[in-house]
Amino acid sequence: MHRQLAEFTVPARPAPIAIDRARCAVVVVDMQNDFGADGGMFHRAGIDIAPITAAVAHTAGVLGAARAAGIPVIYLQMQHKPDLADMGQADSPHRQRHARLSVGETSLAPDGTPYRILVAGEWGTQIVAALAPQPGDILVPKHRFSGFFETGLNTILQGLDAKFLIVTGCTTSICVESTIRDAMFRDYHCILLEDCTGEPIGNSNSRSNHDASILTIETLLGWVSDSQGFIRALAK
C-alpha cells in the first residue's frame, strides 16, 4: 500500500517548505528548569534567562497544535549521571566549562528542596512547568550539546519514519544549533521556529549569537519559520 501524503506548507526562509504530516516530529531542546526557570542553574549564575522564558508561551502553542494533529513531540533533556561519569575527563572542555556553573553541586529549588544542578532525576532537569510533557510524548536524555551524541534520538526518529523536524528550545547557538547541525548531517529537514528559541550569549549586543545562528540555519542547515506560521499552516 502507498501511504497518502498529508502535506502542509510552512512559510519559511529561505523558502516555504512542504511537510508530510505523517513524517513530522516536534523536537523541544532543553527547555528545563536549570536553563529557563527562576532558581535554576542559569538564573543563579547571573545569566539572563529572559530570551528563554520569552519562548515558552509560543512553544506551548506549537506543542498543543502538534499533539492535536497527531504529530509526535520529543523532549531533549540535558543531564548528567549522579557520579558525573558522563561529563568527560577532568581536563575535558565540557567538564571544565560546566564546572563554572557548579554542575553536580547541591542548590535549592524555589520551594526550598535541595537538588543537584544538571543531574538526572533532579528538579533542574525537569521540563519547565508550562511545557510539561504529556502522555505519549517522548523524553530523550543527553549529556552533550547535540541531541544526537550518544543518545537514542536517531533510532527513535527512524522508528517514527520522521523526515521533518520542527525544532524549538534553548539555547539557539549552542544546543539547538548543535542538534540541527547533526540532524542535517543525517538528512533530516529541520525547521527552526524562531520565536520558540532563545539565547543569552550576546543578547545585549546589536547583533547577537541568536541572530548569527538564525542566519546560519536559514542559509545552510535548514529553514526558519515561527510559531504562528507553523500553527496556521498545520490548521489548513
In the chain, the amino acid numbered 141 is P
How far is 157 from 50, CA to CA, in rounded Å? 31
What pLDDT, on the 0 to 100 scale, is given for residue 6?
A: 86
Mean pLDDT by 10 residues, the chain (236 residues): 70 98 98 98 96 98 98 98 96 94 96 98 98 98 98 98 98 98 98 97 84 97 98 95
Helix (H) or strand (E) holding 173: none
pTM across the whole model: 0.96
Complete domains list, the chain, with CATH: 7-235 (3.40.50.850)
What pLDDT, on the 0 to 100 scale, is given for residue 56?
A: 98
What pLDDT, on the 0 to 100 scale, is given for residue 2?
A: 42
Segment 75-98, tens digit of pLDDT: 999 999 999 999 999 999 999 999
Catalytic residues: 30, 142, 175
Helix (H) or strand (E) holding 75: strand 73-78
Segment 107-152, tens digit of pLDDT: 999 999 999 999 999 999 999 999 999 999 999 999 999 999 999 9
What pLDDT, on the 0 to 100 scale, is given for residue 219?
A: 98
What pLDDT, on the 0 to 100 scale, is given for residue 5?
A: 57
Residue 167: φ, ψ to 5°: -105, 135
Helices (H), the chain: 33-36, 41-44, 50-53, 56-68, 93-99, 153-159, 177-185, 209-216, 227-235
